[in-house]
Amino acid sequence: MTETVETLPAAWYTDPHVYAREQQLIFARNWSVFARADQVANPGCFVAGRVAGWPVFVVRDCNGVLRGFHNFCRHRAGPVISGSFGHCDLLRCPYHGWTYGLDGALQKTPGFVRDAAVNPYAMSLLPVAVQIWNSIVFVCLEDRGTDLEQWLGEIVPLAQAYPQVDDMVFHSEVVSEGEVNWKSYSDNSAEGYHLGSVHPALTRALLPERTKISTYENGRFIAFNVVYKETEYRAMSNGLWVYKFPGLLLHFSDYGFNLERVTPLGAERTRMQRWFWFPATATGAECDDVVAASNQVMGEDLAICTRVQENLAAGTYQTGQMSPSREGGTIFFQHCVREALES
């Protein structure tokens, strides 16, 4: 008989100190989806947001180099970029007017008397690592020299069997937020055991004997090979669902591609951003069907995860047991969390 594996302690799903450690030890150290490459295609184009709670931005500089920076001025922490996307020729802090080039170098400090002990011109914006894969811009705050494609591991060759982002058209972004710890949501994303109970319509459309879940150590991700019955869920298409630690879901299929970025906003709040791409030949109705099916599955997941979160927070449940054969992905995910927090 296979031994079961104990879950993470319930307190890890509500404790603000655990949340703070996860931001630092997990989200700052892994690559995060940040922008689409087409948003920063030209010099001066920028996208701003947060990674692991830190305000950062990416900008295409005058020489065509894509750069990433922390979004604070070296003087007294004013924001050098306002708004979530746009175009600029220069980075000007709105607090006292210091300006930086798009390469992050400090250019002007109007009215600032230079102190002999301080050379403000040595204070460039603080960089963050930025790389592109499949026309998606990723950012990593604590660059430990792990190349993005190395981090993605076997996802890179697996993705080549499906249409690439550059060959498709971006359709839409759908943003959802829930009163859940990000791990409640990811625990669920990493296993197929709940499909029959939580997603009855989806389960009826699947061919279970051809749906296979694999764990890939190299890329630290879990992949679901999904095959649908003929005529059912045609819009969803056959394909590959990937859950990549810590918070990235990718869905490759012949009919399009979508990704989901899972961002913790607090110990008991999480944001899910989904981006959808389709071939230029897809009709509006086909695209809408895929988004609607995705919304339904995600709504079902979020509903059960919210109830689970309530029980984890109530204080009686401490830990449970998981089955390696049915919940191998979640066991693997929780192993990654433990390993990171104990590092």
Is residue 251 within 8 Å of 168, Cβ to Cβ? no
327 in contact with Fe ion (CB under 5 A)? no
Question: CA 215 → CA 49, 76, 244, 295, distances in Å?
Answer: 31, 46, 10, 26
Burial class (CB in 10 A: 0-12, 13-18, 19+), 175: exposed
Comparison of 98 and 151: residue with beta carbon closer to ligand FES: 98
| 81: contact with ligand FES by CB under 6 A | no
Distance between CA 228 and CA 203 in Å, rounded? 9
Q: Tell the burial category of 283 from Cβ atoms under 10 Å away from its Cβ (0-12, 13-18, 19+).
A: exposed
What crossing angle do the helices spanning 328-341 and 182-189 adopt, rounded to 10°? Answer: 140
**Interface size with Fe ion, residues (CB under 5 A):** 1
Residue 74 beta carbon to ligand FES: minimum distance, rounded to whole angstroms:
8
Nearer to Fe ion, 138 or 241 (CB): 241
With CB cut-offs between 5 and 8 Å by kind, which of ligand FES, Fe ion, none does residue 95 bind?
A: ligand FES
Does 191 participate in binding Fe ion (rule CB under 5 A)? no
Q: Work out what residue 326 binds among Fe ion, ligand FES, none; the CB cut-off runs from 5 to 8 Å by kind.
A: none
114 belongs to the binding site for ligand FES (CB under 6 A):
no
Count of residues touching ligand FES (by CB under 6 A): 10
278: closest CA among 293, 260, 294, 291?
291
For residue 143, the minimal CB distance to ligand FES (Å) is 24
- Least gap, CB of 124 to ligand FES (angstroms): 13
**d(C-alpha 254, C-alpha 71), whole Å:** 38
73 touches ligand FES (CB under 6 A): yes
Least separation in angstroms between CB 123 and ligand FES: 10
Q: Is 125 in the site for ligand FES (CB under 6 A)?
A: no
Provide, rounded to whole angstroms, the least separation between the CB of residue 90 and ligand FES: 13
Helix (H) or strand (E) holding 187: helix 182-189
| Coil, strand or helix at 302 | helix
- What does the per-residue mask of binding to Fe ion show for 258-297, with x meaning CB under 5 A? ----------------------------------------
- Assess 78 for contact with ligand FES (CB under 6 A): yes
Between the alpha carbon of residue 38 and those of residues 41, 59, 83, the distances in Å are: 5, 12, 18
CB atoms within 10 A of CB 112: 13
Binding partner selected for residue 301 from Fe ion, ligand FES, none, CB under the kind-specific 5 to 8 Å limit: Fe ion
Q: Give which of Fe ion, ligand FES, none residue 317 binds (C-beta under 5 to 8 Å, depending on kind).
A: none
Nearest of 337, 288, 279 to residue 15 by alpha carbon: 337
Stretch that binds ligand FES, among 42-50, 72-80, 173-181, 307-315 (CB under 6 A): 72-80
How many angstroms separate the first and last alpha carbons of the chain? 32
Q: Specify the residue for token string 């819009």.
A: 235
- Residue choice 22, 187, 191, 301 for contact with Fe ion (CB under 5 A): 301
Among 17, 41, 86, 95, binds ligand FES (CB under 6 A): 95
Residue 252: its H or E element: strand 248-253
Residues forming the site for ligand FES (CB under 6 A): 73, 75-78, 93, 95-98
Residues forming the site for Fe ion (CB under 5 A): 301
